[in-house]
Amino acid sequence: MTRSPRAVRGALATVVVAAATIGVALPLHATAATAGGTGLPLGDPDLAETRSSQELARGVTLTRIVRGTEPAPADQINTTTRGPWVVSVLTIDPRKADGHLKATYGPDLARVEKTSDLVRSAGAVAGVNASFFTFTADPLYPGDPVGLGISDGKLLSEPLTDPAEANLLIDAKSNKVVAGHLQWSGEVRNRATHARLPLEFVNHPPVVPADCASLPDQTTCTSPGDVVLFTPEFAAATPAGAGVEVVLDRRGCVLSTATTRGTSLKAGQTSLQATGQDTVALLNVASHGCLDSDLKVSNEDGDKVPLRSGLYGVTGRYRLTANGEIVVPDGTGSFFDRNPRTIAGTTRDGKIVLAALDGRQTTSVGTTMDETAAVAQSLGLRNSINLDGGGSTAMALQDGTLVNHPSGTNGAERAVGDAIVFVPGH
């Protein structure tokens, strides 16, 4: 079965923040772009634009850009050509910066935390929200990523087959970032019998077939179900319900088998859950001894991506630029209207840029997908993706101070699934 497209809510790029709506003082290197000057490719060409920047740490610069001076009429936010727009840009130069970029989920994968809390708890210089996540579609596990999730070389959530998914890979050891679309395959294999069973998901609650939900014993179900691998990073306990669960020790050997799902995993343990007719297949594969889990990730060219220490991965929706060219597809609907946006990307000379674009406000109207891509290109992003946006868009500093102005009521910050942060030191 395919992973359900859990409700998606809408980071690597220079972040621009508007001085007009943000309480963070950036006194250094203030400049003003006069009407008609070179600026963001947004709205009418005669709009005034102001920029200010500050070095947060060696090689890490925060810039904020305000384009347009008059608040937008509330009924013209999605159509006005006069703005205003507020953009916050965090630029990291790996050749100068002392530290590393990484992704963080907080205490576990399934819960949500505010970006400001994730930045503060990581001891980071700054950071932005990252992946699309389940949110209200699953109140039990709202932080579950909708697509790729890799943490320190461990695959915690599989990439989607949807071509719209855009992935960002971060090598924390070299501070290199790659944008693209990843593929994956997964299976478990019995070492003694060599029996194999493919995996549908990693750390995603399996679905019990509707026509089997009332059966007391899922092994009698004849409808296809799911086979899912769970790791201790998922939550305090694995999802409970009808089906089968096999718990494995750190060597992959069977510790316990249960005909219902839901248990707590200790460090080093994993479990396999199955529903529907897949319960019988899982019991057969796990009936003798020890299992090997084989998870493989490859890029869009089919080349293997080694899951090694220091590798992180997050999921976005749509690439914005590739090799310097705008590649965002045509589209309609509210997702393509003006919204707050979070961008991640890299410049030609290897700088990493995380950007937060405020939106849905009279003080910053936000950007369409086309406008978002144009902003990414104007910021010099040779390769970039659109991360979660909307009410999730947030950028925060080390002490938890918000740099941008989220679109929630009274600027309320939304709790999110994960964040991309720059942590000082080696």
152-187 pLDDT, tens digit per residue, is 999 999 999 999 999 999 999 999 999 999 999 999
Residues 405-414 have pLDDT tens digits of: 999 998 999 9
Q: Residue 27: pLDDT above 90?
A: no
pLDDT of residue 216: 83
- Where does residue 252 fall: left (phi above 0), alpha (psi -120 to 50 degrees), or beta otherwise? left
Q: How far apart (Å, rounded) are the C-alpha atoms in residues 326 and 317?
A: 14
Strand partners, 256: 247
Whether 66 and 82 have beta carbons less than 8 Å apart is answered as: no
Instruction: Read off the pLDDT of each residue in 316-323 and give the average, rounded to a whole number.
Output: 98
Report the relative pairing of strands 241-248 and 254-261 from DSSP bridges.
Answer: antiparallel
Residues 321-360 have pLDDT tens digits of: 999 999 999 998 999 999 999 999 999 999 999 999 999 9
pLDDT of residue 10: 37
pLDDT of residue 6: 43
Q: Residue 18: pLDDT above 50?
A: no
Share of the chain above pLDDT 70, in %: 91
pLDDT of residue 31: 55
The mean pLDDT of the chain is 91
Q: Residue 9: pLDDT above 70?
A: no
Q: How far apart (Å, rounded) are the C-alpha atoms in residues 20 and 22?
A: 6
Confidence of residue 288 (pLDDT cuts 50, 70, 90): confident
Q: Residue 13: pLDDT above 50?
A: no
User: Considering Cα of 23, then 24, then 26, then 31, what sign does the dihedral take?
Assistant: negative
Share of the chain above pLDDT 90, in %: 86
Q: Residue 2: pLDDT above 90?
A: no
Question: Which residues does 274 contact at the CB level (< 8 Å), separation at least 6?
Answer: 206, 218, 225, 226, 227, 228, 243, 244, 245, 281, 282, 283
Residues 61-90 have pLDDT tens digits of: 999 999 999 999 999 999 999 999 999 999
